[in-house]
Structure formats: structure tokens, C-alpha cells
Amino acid sequence: MKEVDLKAVRSRLPKGSINLIADKLGISNKIVSDVFNRGWYSQYRDKVLEVALSIIKGNTEASKSVIQEADSLGLTATSLFPIRKKKVAMKEQSVESGVPGFADLFSLTREELEDYIKENDLETNPDDFDSFWKGAEKNRLNLVYAICEELEMDIPDWDEIQELEHNDLIEVIEDLGLEIDPSNFESDEELANEICSELGIDEPEEE
């Protein structure tokens, strides 16, 4: 079964399209971004895609269904956002649940992370990440990684970031909302190092 390749659609959109889609639908930029980046907000998904595809085609309105329109543009794929299983201890059973990605958790404040832990009955204890010496941001980052580990979520590491190409590095910056200007760095290696620094990821020691 085909699904719209959301990231492919986003890559084809001209600059400023997120704002245009948000204004046209009367929703926030964040909702539009989360539709493309996380597959969230299913209630807005088709409307967002319809406007996005019309922008790509240069039309005012899409003439076909979203799937047909995307397929005609070569923007479909399969199982883009598979639902992962997470064990909910309170219910002593596995349930189908949409699990957020690292970028989603990284964007949350300390208070929002604590709320997420409570709402999802996670075992991670925020009090374990409240060291005076590490500082608020380092504690928040450590809490993010702890939640990711409990959810068995893929966590970016030093080597993975170092291997990314320039456009991929820029995408990481945008997805995570990092205050990094790529033009300030002479090489991709320096840019990758700065991203790792912002994410609290240290270079592994040589064995």
C-alpha cells in the first residue's frame, strides 16, 4: 500500500511554503512542520498535503486525491511512519502507540519532558537528572537521552552525525531548531562538530 513520502514532498517545496500552507489553512507553522517531519496531526495531514502538492505543481488546487497526486509526482513510498510497540507497564500489556522521534523530545522544555513522562507512565525519574554542577541544559539533554533509551528509540551518535552530507546537516539543524548558522563554518566537519556540541554528544575516545 502506497503512502505519501512526506520528507520527499517537503524537499520539493520552495522556501516559504511552510508559512504559506499554515496561513492558507489557518494553523500554526509548527503543526505544518510536524506533519512533514513527524507524521503527526493526522487530522490536518491530507489538507496540508493537498496544499503542498498544489504548490509543487504550481496549481491553486489539487485536482486528484492526495495519494494519486503524490504518486503522479513520484512522491509516494511505503511504511514511512510505522507504528512502534511500547510496553505500558501500568496496563501490563503491549499497545500500539505512536512514539515520538528524537527531534520531538529534544524540542521539549524540562517541564514538558516531565509532563511527557507522567502522561506515558515512563519509569525514567526526572530527579535523577537535576545535578547542580551540570547545569539546566545539560540536565535537560540527559533527561531526553534517558527517555529515548527507555522508549528504545534510535539516538544520534558522533559517527552518524560526522558522516552526514552538508544538506543533511542543515536538515538536522532545522529539525532540532538549533541556533547554528552554517555559513559561520568553513567545513562540514566543523559544522558537524558544532551540532554534536549542541546535542551534548562527545567524540568517542580512541581505544
| CA dist list (Å): 194 to 71, 84, 159, 171, 178 | 38, 31, 13, 14, 10
Q: Is the pLDDT of residue 96 over 70?
A: no
Segment 7-32 shows an average pLDDT of 82
DSSP-assigned letter for residue 91: G
Question: Distance between CA atoms of 14 and 18, rounded to whole angstroms?
Answer: 9
Segment 137-163 shows an average pLDDT of 87
For residue 158, give the 3-state DSSP assignment.
helix
pTM: 0.49
**Amino acid identity for residue 204 in this structure:** P
Percent of the chain at pLDDT > 90 equals 15
Mean pLDDT of the chain, nearest integer: 76
Name, in order, each residue with C-beta under 8 angstroms of 200's C-beta and a sequence gap of 6 or more. 138, 141, 142, 145
